[in-house]
Structure 1
Amino acid sequence: MRSILQAICIIIFLFACSSSVYAGEIITDQKLITVDLGKQMLYAWEKGQVVHQTKVSTGLPKTPTVKGSFAVKWKVPSQTMRGGSKAYGTYEYKNVPHVMYFYQGYAIHGAYWHNRFGRPNSHGCVNVPLTSAEWLYNWAQKGTRVEVF
């Protein structure tokens, strides 16, 4: 009986440790954006509480969204985005709204050209519905922490 109880405790411990985000990482007085690639969800945190959440579309398997700890580097109200490759397809979208770059060419931005939020669909950026993109753009400042996992 004791060994069964120990095994159950180990399983519970391992399950708890495999969680994508730990509570200790979320408790902060600073604003924080988290992007959960598995759930295809973005959460905006302030003072340890979720203040906004939305479904997103992140990178496809051949063009994945970068994982890690970042910060909003610069913001652009609207711009033309183009890129891709012959192997993975090219794109050009004019007037992409509410762009917030967090690492090299990776950004969180509004996407008007599709409504497939909740599943991967991008060349690596974090595509957000237009109303959420506007809210995030107005809420986040340059330097706001971005965690992608």
Structure 2
Amino acid sequence: MKKTWVLSTLFTLSIIFLPPFLMDLDKENKEINSDDVKVIQVEHIDTDSEKNKYQDDITTFYSNTSFKKTYYISGDRVNVYSDSSGSDKLLRYLRKNDVIVAYNERNGYIYCEDNNGRFGWVRKNKDNLSGEINKKTTYKVDVDLTKQLIFIYKDNKELREIKCSTGLIGNADTETPVGNFEIQNKGTFFFSPKYNQGGKYYIKFFSNYLIHSIPTDKNGNIIEEEKDKLGVPVSHGCIRVPVEESKWIYDNIPVGSAVSIHY
């Protein structure tokens, strides 16, 4: 009789307490398996063909979406040729640590632009080219293409943060090259008939690539509609900043200072 009473009591308790427990368990399982759960997916290249598409046997500055690659001359006297045929039609020489930006590759040569805006073909090998060069200077201009910001450093301490607008992405003619450069020269005004735009207080860091003010007309007047484009990559390849910031850079950052451009 006592045994029957115990079994009956246990059965009654299970009826009372077990359903809520099962409901909670079921609810928990639904929450875990629900479509509302956010899964973070990391995009990656997982095929050899795609990896090789972007790999380079000489480390260079570029991104997976870039048309341009930046190299540094490692030889003391590197030949520049008129074509990639191997017929050795010599145009000129490049010197050690010269910077070049490559646009194309063919037959073991790269088609590139040098710091003077001249084009030609260079044999691609480790005797001629290096993928990295670092120059430590008192001042450093650090351009973040992703954030569309310029950070100015002096002795590794941040002095200034400047909103900018860099080159239009996805076009070889307009994207801003990435890499380590240095300020070549500077000026108070320029005008480009090709683009019918100019700029105030520029510094040149490679070829015809400049950091300068918001675009102006030929008379030096700021083009008002260009003001709203800061923070967006829309330029022809140069780096635009507000006029007061371009003047500050012009006044304070000396020729020879390092310029680093990256994503």
State the TM-score, normalizing by the size of structure 1. 0.73
The aligned residue for residue 205 of structure 2 is: 102
CA offsets per residue over residues 79-125 of structure 1, 9 Å max, x none? 11243xxxxxxx1124x200100000100001133121111010000
Who wins on radius of gyration, i.e. which is larger? 2
2:191 counterpart residue number: 80
1:131 counterpart SS class: helix
Partner of 1:124: 237
User: What residue ranges of structure 2 are gaps of 5+ in the alignment?
Assistant: 1-135, 215-221
- Paired residues for 1:60-79 under 5 Å: 60-61=168-169, 62=171, 63-79=174-190
User: Cα gap change, 1:60/1:49 in structure 2, threshold over 3 Å: closer, same or farther?
Assistant: same
Contact 1:29 1:48 in 2 (8 A): no
Structure 1: 5+ residue runs without aligned partners? 1-27, 84-90
Identity of aligned residues (%): 28
Q: Secondary structure at the match of 1:64?
A: coil
Q: How many positions carry a matched residue from both structures?
A: 114
Cα root mean square deviation, aligned: 1.3
TM superposition shift of 1:47: 1.5
Paired residues of 2:137 and 2:258 also in contact (CA < 8 A): no
Report the alpha carbon displacement of residue 49 of structure 1 after superposing the two structures with TM. Answer: 1.2
1:107/1:29 CA distance change after superposition, 3 Å: closer
What TM-score results when the alignment is normalised by the length of structure 2? Answer: 0.42
How far is 1:53 from its partner?
1.0
Taking a change above 3 Å as real, the CA distance of residues 72 and 29 of structure 1, as seen in their structure-2 partners, is: closer
1:48 to 156, 159, 165: 156
User: Could you say which structure has the greater relative contact order, defined with CA pairs below 8 angstroms and 6 or more residues apart?
Assistant: 1
* 1:7-62 C-alpha deviation (Å, 9 max, x unpaired): xxxxxxxxxxxxxxxxxxxxx66100000000000011001111111110000022
CA distance in 1, matches of 2:257, 2:151: 13
Determine the C-alpha separation between the residues in 1 that align with 2:158 and 2:247. 17
Match of 2:143 in 1: 35
Greater fraction of residues in strand: 1
